[in-house]
Amino acid sequence: MKYMIIMTASKKDLQSFGTRLTLDELKAHVGFMKQLNEELKGTGEYVDAQGLTGPETTRLVRAQSGGPPVVTDGPFPETKEYLAGYWILEVKSWERMVEIAARISGAPGPGGKPMNFPVEIREVAAAPPV
User: Between β-strands 46-51 and 81-90, what pairing exists: parallel, antiparallel or unpaired?
Assistant: antiparallel
Task: Decide if pLDDT at 77 tops 70.
Answer: no
Task: Decide if pLDDT at 86 tops 90.
Answer: yes
> What would the pLDDT profile of 33-71 be if each residue is shown by its tens digit?
999 999 999 999 999 999 888 778 888 898 999 999 999
How far is it, in rounded angstroms, from Cα 83 to Cα 74? 16
Segment (H or E) for 105: helix 94-105
**What domains can be seen in the chain, in order of their start residue?**
2-53+81-123 (3.30.70.1060)
